[in-house]
Structure 1
Amino acid sequence: METLQIDFQKTALVMIDLQKGIVQLPGGQAIVDKSRKLVELFRQKQGFLAFVRVAFHDGQDALKPSTDQPAPTMKRSEDWADLVPELGVTDKDYVVTKRQWGAFFGTDLDLQLRRRGIDTIVLCGIATNIGVEMTAREAFQLGYNQIFITDAMMAMSGEEHDATCRYIFPRIGKVRTTEAVLAEVSHG
């Protein structure tokens, strides 16, 4: 496996949907803990942090296509879309609010990354095969280099997570674990 050469001036950590209403799912706290290590690394190296959350203005802006497996309806608490405090989001961090699966479509994430000369994203979050994978596919089409931190993401099932990590991510970027990235950066 090729060693990562991360230029933190040209790399952004993009975290998908690490918000109160989503990380309460079983296994969500472990993803937050791994992601927090990445946040600390990027703060130390002065890399760009992009916290992505999904939120809706009045519910009329939510996607409602006809599907064989409709999204479950749920009552969202007032703080459902708030980013979890463990990540230590500051006013200097970039927060993206999306209203669909991917973080690029309908947002200015691409514009903000390009204005900063960023050509690589490190991606993590929930859910692997939905918000993370859609964002990864969009980033691939936009020409970004990508590093997927697979132990800092999860899906609703192990099969869904594994399928994306095994069959999609290696075709559009590099697949690593949190510890592998931390080790490579400390030795690099």
Structure 2
Amino acid sequence: MNEPSLDLARTALVLIDLQNSNVQRELAPYSAEQTVGNCVLLAQEMRTRGAMIVYVRVLVGELPAPLADAPMRSPGAAAPAYDASELSAMADVEATDIVVVKRQWGAFYGTELDQLLRRRRIDTLVLGGIATNFGVESTARAAFDRNYRLVFAEDAMSSFDAEAHRFAVSKIFPRMGRVRSTRALIDMLQAGTGDA
């Protein structure tokens, strides 16, 4: 059975949290350089073919700090560095790209992302970013609930733990959409087949 085509006029590449606070961390199974590099390759290919490119960044100092067994930051921890929430220079953001600012793990809650996508009649999202099982997965679940078609660029995302990444891409994401490598997506785009 043939897969549905990827209509780039109705597709957005949504890249999550490629910002200084994340690219400076030790990531697995892919390094920050590998992850961001693959995101940039996808953005270049998709941008030249008319797809919408969205970079999402989180205001680290405004993330909730609930009472939790394994909090993301310790109570009383020092404030993040002044540029922690800024997109990394490695992300290669261009002037035509859209930047969405969030204050939660997911990119939909409390942001204009859904409105921006719907105004452009976007119905398909290609997702990548840091971290797989936090910002990417939270965004994917919200997108799935909103009936977007999803494609996951498996090696254009990474996490703080390789097993957490593997679990998301092998057990969660295949139930919501299609999981592909960056190379497979680029080959498809360059071949002009439109299949993901």
TM-score range, shorter chain: over 0.9
Residues 1-188 of structure 1 mapped to structure 2, 5 A cutoff: 2-3=2-3, 5-26=5-26, 27-56=31-60, 59=61, 61-72=62-73, 73=77, 75-187=79-191, 188=193
SS in 1 for 2:114: helix
Gaps (5+ residues) in structure 2? none
Structure 1 runs of 4+ with >6 Å offset: none
Render the CA deviation track for 1:124-168: whole Å, top value 9, x for unaligned: 000100100000000000000000001011111111000001110
Question: 1:129 is matched by which residue type in structure 2?
Answer: N
- TM-score, structure 2 normalization: 0.89
Is contact 1:3-1:184 (8 Å) kept?
A: no
Is contact 1:31-1:154 (8 Å) kept?
A: yes
- Displacement of 1:29: 1.4
- Displacement of 1:36: 0.7
- In the comparison of the two structures, how many residue pairs are matched? 185
CA distance in 2, matches of 1:13, 1:180: 15
Structure with more contact order per residue of length (Cα contacts < 8 Å, sep ≥ 6): 2
- Displacement of 1:92: 2.1
SS in 2 for 1:68: coil
CA distance in 2, matches of 1:172, 1:12: 16
- Please provide the CA RMSD for this pair: 1.5
- Displacement of 1:91: 2.9
CA distance in 2, matches of 1:138, 1:35: 21
- TM-score, structure 1 normalization: 0.93
Alpha carbons of 1:175 and 1:154: their partners in 2 closer, same or farther (altered >3 Å)? Answer: same
Alpha carbons of 1:74 and 1:160: their partners in 2 closer, same or farther (altered >3 Å)? Answer: farther
Gaps (5+ residues) in structure 1? none
Is contact 1:4-1:184 (8 Å) kept?
A: no
